[in-house]
A and B are shown apart, each in its own frame.
Chain A
Amino acid sequence: MPFRLAYGSPPHWALRALGALALAYVALSPAFKDLSPSEFGELTDIAVLALAALSLNLLIGFTGQISIGHSAFFGIGAYTLAILVSDHGWSPGWTYPVAAVVCFVVGVLVGIPALRLKGLYLALVTLALAQIFPALVRKFDELTGGSQGIGGLSYDAPGWTGLESGRRGRAEWMYWLALGTLLVGYVLVRNLVKSRVGRSMVAVRDNSTAAAVMGVHVAFTKTIVFGLSAALAGVAGCTFALRQTQTTPENVYLTILGAIVFLVIMVVGGAGSLMGPIVGAIVYYRVDQFSRELPDKSWLPESFRDFLVGRPNLATLVFALLLILLMFVAPFGLVGLAKRVGRRIVQVIPGAPTDPAAMPSEPTEVPIDVAEQPTV
């Protein structure tokens, strides 16, 4: 018998505060540790991946529109920053809003034909987008630098931050920038999802025809969400370009594999869950890192280490299998799994538990997967 907490009761608030504190600790602790620039770099990468996956979650997890093309928006953001900084001498900070607007507009433009397309067809169009983006970059080489890309991007910490100048200060500033954009993205998505628009998004996802009947403006919702999602991905791309100090069409995150990585992070973390992309990004990055270091681990048997030498992509294989496995056991990803386990221990129920008959048997989360519906 799990503990039952009434929604909004003091114990419930205490639990939430504890969760928020834990999160704040994880996010802010780098400020008090003496991390090296490369360690800050890793954290920056995680935050960038989390924001990219967050943008995808808004689109897929909450609105049910599949995109396999977010690497293109990521890339458009990166290139907007690179072009404005290197050709027009902008300060990188001011390019963020421009990149967001550019990506929003492109996202809406893609979203409009997508209105007539459902599910697989939309996936096809976005796949096409991911596929042609690097080709377009190479083609318009006067603007983008072609295959060479644009280099020499950096962002020194502004004076008001009090961070030291030089490599270490820059690395730390990158982290705060990435964390800040992630936080803004998170709050935006959270507020959006919990608003009227968010409810119409979920309605569109679960049954767009029924949503339209109930008065949801399906076309408007879909297009706006597509634009917002693209804008968030573009902002992630901006930080990515700064972190890499360059953008080239050869970069794997700007190709279709990047779009797939974002999707993997989102699904592994938990589609349709606010924390999912962040958890997914941490898990993805750390597992990937761990698997690269495996051949050097002395506690592994010699034969296994020999087997691994010269074999790339171990982590990718693991994640491919995990993705398929998750579809069997936990379609809501790790966060969904944790919630399911947590519910055995603590249940949060709406209102005070006075009348057992009036209580909902199981608090339902918004399911992306319509497992219980019979397929006709």
Chain B
Amino acid sequence: MERFLQYLFDGISQGSIYALLALGLVIIYRGSGHLNFAQGEMAMISAFLAWWYADLGLSPWLAVVVSAATAFVVAMGIERFVIRPIGHRSPFAVVVAAIGLFLGFNALAPFAWKVTIPEAFESLFPNEPDDFVRIGGAEWREQYIGVLAVLAITSVVLYLLFQRTRFGLAMRAVASNPESSPLVGIRTGQVLAVSWGLAAAVGALGGAMVASLRGNVDASMMFTIFFAATAAATLGGYDSLFGAVFGGLVLGVFENMAAGYQPDLVGQELKGVVSLLVILVVLLIKPSGLFGSQRVERV
């Protein structure tokens, strides 16, 4: 039981990070149907920004907030000046452009800050050896609880934004019917740009959480996490915000259980295989995910 709880707590914490990244993927996908392959790298570069701002003298949390704001603005620009014009061409072109962004951001971090080895990142939560809560014999480290709290707050804020504000209504309208929403006076372009901004800001939080847990920032830190986030979003359904959070948490727990109970077969090394299996099984059985809406395709 103790072991089970331990894996559960670790899984939930890991899953919170997947969920933050998956939220970003879903926010963008809902608006325009694009899968942002650069989501992970945008989060990585935001974490570098947070590290840099903190280095310049901002307090750690303020640095994270400012980096999220920077990510918001930059991502709006990317949507407006890169993705939207290319999106008129073909979906393939958008995928290539997103891969270009992936590659660009990945190369930018070492180039801009002259770092080739991981740089130390100050933990955002209490992180002394005895900073943990004991529940049923299992230890839940406070920094892990902190990450879960960040996810909870983000989810609530997003929920309120989508369900209780006029702009959120516009975003939902664009998601459900992009052709008709301009007819009722919604500025689709603005909505899409803000979607990218929001996704990048949420991703920036995710990136900061990863950096805080790792204790450093590194250009390759988001590879596996982004990949798990795509699995989480696939599981939850690409157009469901709730699905992204649910998928992230479930995947995190599932992965940790598999790695913990099958140390020889799965272990820490092959956690990624769990994500691959989840992607495959979901896509083959229920491609719209658990909470996504079915899309009817017309020929």
Residues of A within 8 A of B (CB): 64, 66, 68, 113, 116-117, 119-121, 123-125, 127-129, 131-132, 135-136, 138-139, 209, 255-257, 260, 263-264, 267, 310-314, 316-317, 319-321, 323-324, 327-328, 331, 368-371, 375-376
B269 near A317 with CB under 8 A, answer no
CB distance from A283 to the nearest CB of B (A): 16
B88 near A375 with CB under 8 A, answer yes
Is B270 interfacial (CB-CB < 8 Å)?
A: yes
Pick from B95, B283, B299: contact of A116, CB under 8 Å:
B283
CB distance from A75 to the nearest CB of B (A): 15
B91 contacts across to A, CB distance below 8 A: 119-120
Pick from B86, B102, B269: contact of A135, CB under 8 Å:
B269
A120 near B267 with CB under 8 A, answer no
Q: Which residue of B lies closest to A116 (CB)?
A: B284
- The 11 sampled A-B contact pairs (Cβ below 8 Å) are A120-B91, A124-B283, A125-B283, A127-B37, A128-B230, A128-B231, A131-B224, A132-B276, A136-B270, A327-B89, A369-B89
Pick from B89, B234, B284, B287: contact of A371, CB under 8 Å:
B89
Query: Do A131 and B283 contact each other (CB < 8 Å), given the known contacts A124-B234, A327-B97, A371-B89?
Result: no
Query: Do A121 and B283 contact each other (CB < 8 Å), given the known contacts A260-B99, A317-B108, A324-B82?
Result: yes
B103 near A319 with CB under 8 A, answer yes
A128 near B275 with CB under 8 A, answer yes
Q: Which residue of A lies closest to B105 (CB)?
A: A320
The 9 A-B pairs of least Cβ separation, nearest first, read A320-B104, A323-B100, A316-B107, A313-B107, A128-B276, A320-B103, A324-B100, A132-B272, A131-B227
B106 near A117 with CB under 8 A, answer no
A256 contacts across to B, CB distance below 8 A: 223
Question: Which residues 78-126 of B sit at the A interface, judged by CB distance below 8 A?
Answer: 82, 85-86, 88-93, 95-97, 99-104, 106-108, 110-112, 114, 116
Residue from A129, A132, A138 having most chain B Cβ neighbours under 10 A? A132
Is B156 interfacial (CB-CB < 8 Å)?
A: no
Query: Do A124 and B85 contact each other (CB < 8 Å), given the known contacts A64-B92, A66-B92?
Result: no
Pick from B104, B224, B230, B270: contact of A124, CB under 8 Å:
B230
Is B19 interfacial (CB-CB < 8 Å)?
A: no
A128 near B95 with CB under 8 A, answer no
A64 contacts across to B, CB distance below 8 A: 92
B273 contacts across to A, CB distance below 8 A: 132, 135-136
A328 near B95 with CB under 8 A, answer no
Is B280 interfacial (CB-CB < 8 Å)?
A: yes
Query: Do A113 and B269 contact each other (CB < 8 Å), given the known contacts A129-B276, A331-B89?
Result: no
Pick from A128, A260, A368: contact of B102, CB under 8 Å:
A260
A129 contacts across to B, CB distance below 8 A: 276
Question: Which residues 278-298 of B sit at the A interface, judged by CB distance below 8 A?
Answer: 279-280, 283-284, 287
Is B147 interfacial (CB-CB < 8 Å)?
A: no
B104 near A321 with CB under 8 A, answer yes
A209 contacts across to B, CB distance below 8 A: 299
B201 contacts across to A, CB distance below 8 A: none
CA distance A128 to B279 in the complex (A): 9
Is B192 interfacial (CB-CB < 8 Å)?
A: no
CA distance A321 to B101 in the complex (A): 8
Q: Which residue of B lies closest to A123 (CB)?
A: B95
Is B35 interfacial (CB-CB < 8 Å)?
A: yes
